[in-house]
């Protein structure tokens, strides 16, 4: 009789335990890498938005004007041509209500989307996306900051939300409860937690 070689149940359990251990070690690393990638995209968006606003100010000698509540317009709409979004800009009729906006504007251009905030949003497909970034005017609108939108902010992107600096620092941000931000007319992106600059 020829002896057959086979794997025993004990060996199978050991192999499965080793595989489970490797997976348990690998999954947090994958999650961490995804989170870092989301952060990088968000920081780049803040930088690009800051540059676009600075170009708008250079061209018009003033910050984009604030919007009327519930109406399309404001800084996000005004800087679209400076983000190479002329076609999107041409589709927006400023001064109309948000409800009148066509479905193709429910989702903002990618530069206005923070991947981390997208994970937190629960926006239905048939509703307007909230703003992921806010403009914080300073010094009587002579300067500004661009911040991640507070998590609790549910203002449609197409209205270009503006809030005060004190409102930002009293709020919870999308990145470890903090915010990425850029100071107007300056290079670089910082991180703020509990009102402290942690750059």
Q: What is the pLDDT of residues 6-56, one digit of tens each?
A: 778 888 888 888 888 888 777 777 777 777 888 999 999 999 999 999 999
Which tops the pLDDT comparison, 115 or 29? 115
CB 137 within 8 A of CB 144: yes
Model pTM score:
0.84
Residue extents of the structural domains in the chain: 9-197
Where does the pLDDT of residue 4 fall: very low under 50, low under 70, confident under 90, or very high at 90 and above? low
Residue 193 CA, distance from chain mean position: 16
Give the length of the chain. 199
- If we measure between CA atoms, which residue out of 141, 136, 140 comes closest to residue 183? 136
Neighbours of 37 (CB within 10 A): 12
Q: How far apart are CA 140 and CA 131, in angstroms?
A: 23
Exposed e or buried b per residue across 41-74, where buried means at least 16 C-beta atoms within 10 angstroms of its C-beta: bbbebbbbbbbbbbebbeeeeebbebbeeebbbb
């Amino acid at each position: 009789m020829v002896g057959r070689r086979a794997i025993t149940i004990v060996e199978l359990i050991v192999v499965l335990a080793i595989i489970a251990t490797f997976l348990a070690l690998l999954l947090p690393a994958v999650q961490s890498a995804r989170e870092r990638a989301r952060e990088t995209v968000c920081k780049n968006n803040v930088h690009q938005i800051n540059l676009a606003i600075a170009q708008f100010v250079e061209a018009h000698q003033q910050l984009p004007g604030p919007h009327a509540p519930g109406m399309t317009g404001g800084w996000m709409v005004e800087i679209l041509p400076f983000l190479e979004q002329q076609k999107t800009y041409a589709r927006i009729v400023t001064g109309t209500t948000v409800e009148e906006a066509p479905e193709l504007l429910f989702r903002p251009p990618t530069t206005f989307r923070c991947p981390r905030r997208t994970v937190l949003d629960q926006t239905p497909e048939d509703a307007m996306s909230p703003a992921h970034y806010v403009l914080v005017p300073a010094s009587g609108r002579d300067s500004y900051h661009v911040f991640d939108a507070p998590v609790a902010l549910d203002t449609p992107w197409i209205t270009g939300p503006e809030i005060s600096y004190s409102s930002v620092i009293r709020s919870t941000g999308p990145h470890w409860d903090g915010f990425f931000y850029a100071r107007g007319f300056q290079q670089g992106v910082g991180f703020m937690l509990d009102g402290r600059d942690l750059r």
